[in-house]
Structure 1
Amino acid sequence: MKNVIGILAILLGLAPFSFGQKPTRLHFLNTASTIGAPRLRTTRNLDKDIKILKNEWTVVQTDEDSLGIVFEDRPYYIHLNPGKSYYFVISTGERLTYWVREVSESEFLLNAHFNRSTKAPEYRLGAKTN
Structure 2
Amino acid sequence: MIVIFKTVQKLFLYLILVLVGFYAGMLFNHKICPVETQLTPIEYARYWKIVDGTFMHTRMAIMGPAMMILFAITILLFVKNWKSLTFLFLVLAFAAFALDINFTFREQLPINAFINELDLQTITEQ
- Shorter-chain TM range is 0.3 to 0.5
Higher strand share: 1
Between the two structures, name the one with larger relative contact order (CA 8 Å, sep ≥ 6).
2
- TM-score (ref. length: structure 1): 0.32
Higher helix share: 2
